[in-house]
Structure 1
């Protein structure tokens, strides 16, 4: 409108011709004549429908995704950015703005209520000072089974460097192990850790900020020398960075649902993705990336002097079958501890039994149900008295032995008193550090002879495990004694014995 007013002033006041105005404003003469007759501000028609020259072919796919996501829980719905990335995989070459406008319009059509917004105060955190922690529940496919995994999320407040790791449980040993993994990933420990009032960290909530923290968790804080801080109940904005990270991680890493063989592969991929996402611009220092800010913050973290032993201990009684039940699974213990109380130390991936200050059993931890985890060596003392249990005993039936040992076992058990003879082989193998390897080699040597018996296998094992014989002294080191005066043979001396009578 300013240009129209100037054209009219120059023509009616300064008496400029249409040709001069067209040359001056670089417009056509019909346009100049139209502007000379314009008195009011021009009104342009509002476009009722937005054309989508590049998105048009993918509108049906995008709307189908939106309808599918609308039936999912809010935590599992894809954002416009994630939908844009999925469309790129399908071949979309347009921009993000078109996708964002389409998603926004679709959501407005589905809901007539206006969104509710909140106001927050901007915060500042010095480098190396604060880290925020939170749990989230995500969906992943592990070993072909879709399940809800618990994801521990850490975020350094200054650099915005994140770390996430997934677990099948949300128990205290998982919290302790997550801190070990996060501090190792960061290469240091922040001075303060901010938490919700989760039960694995806080035992009791008092007025204000006063809390009674869990004793085992305080042991972790004392080990790494960080200060734990609990938020006000139902005040998630006090750790808003990690709260937002939960939503971002869900859309970035868990939409669509990731598929892995086990938790080790999943966590390896999550750690790698955390490093890749650090290449994005910092939300406040936009001229720098998150990785560059983390390089500045990392030297200011507290050093890690030793890794915390992240276990939770509880007392359990061993059954008469030398088993301890832990979370609906049963783990074996050496037979001498049957019907006694022992200490059980649970970590994120191991189950250790401790008695008299020593680890008496160590098993990988399983998270299924009704599983029997046995170490056959724990039951060998029982076989000395009950060798018949060898044939149908669960620890021995499922024992994965080398092929040579299996062949010898099957032949020996068919012989008379073969079960007791085979028990003697196992007992002898137990007394050596590499006893199973020695037994395998002895069985292989026995099979080469063509005659299989427990006695031959025992003999071969003794030959393989016996101590080395002493080396003979060399003649060059110590000279052999030489006789200087050789005695002469005189048989007449024996006749002197005959001349004297002896009384018996």
Structure 2
């Protein structure tokens, strides 16, 4: 803080965007308020450097954080330490009171190091000035803190932006997880705002979907019913138990195939369309032929697909060999000797 020189110190592994923003959030929490102006270093993590000396722009994420806290960022000029002399001066004091004091200690985690830093920081801020009365803590508490703007209701949450294309199944894939958007946006490119807790989808700057962030194993689905086309919504009334009961009424082999399809995917709902298509084959080919086709498919593999059953029925592979042989014999006898006398007179 400029007037009191009240300081906040925290150690990080790097100075990337997540560490930079997290440091600011923790700093505001430590101070218990927000100053109207924030003078930052002119580093790449904070400033976009392609606009020339007189057109310095704060990057989008840093700007979003400043908007959240209601502060204005005025970056210091490059290699101009006098733009923030109190901060530069405090670095020297901190180097002696904290960095040097801990130089011979060994820490096994960043949290352990920061716990030790916090103890030394408290001592540093409470230390009495040499040339004036009081300490940094007293000066900040009595004269500076009352002038700070209050903290917002919730701390700023770092957001990451990505682009994604809406797939044919009206979902987008983000970090291996799938999130639904209204089906009208299939094949469209959308902007995705990602935080640790939420995921928001934007099209032309308008929010079209919002989900809780999924964590854990890859391939999980977050689907909102209203995003589904009407003909897809009808599948919601179906479940694995209902498909198995329907298949069991047709025959044991059909049941085995449906059960194999239902367990072939991590998310059972992904298999419902295949199960429905398979069981509907009975309407076209009869339940007896479907059961026979499933029996034949199971003789090849323990996990037949809908497509393999459909192919068996289409080329009549489900019919028994004896029935086919009898049919061929009848067909030949009805036409007599077809090779002709010339064949046998050679």
Q: Which structure shows the higher strand fraction?
A: 1
Q: Is the radius of gyration larger for structure 1 or structure 2?
A: 1
Q: What TM-score does the superposition give when structure 2 sets the normalisation length?
A: 0.49
Answer 1 or 2: higher relative contact order, Cα 8 Å, separation at least 6.
2
Q: What TM-score does the superposition give when structure 1 sets the normalisation length?
A: 0.36
Q: Which structure shows the higher helix fraction?
A: 2
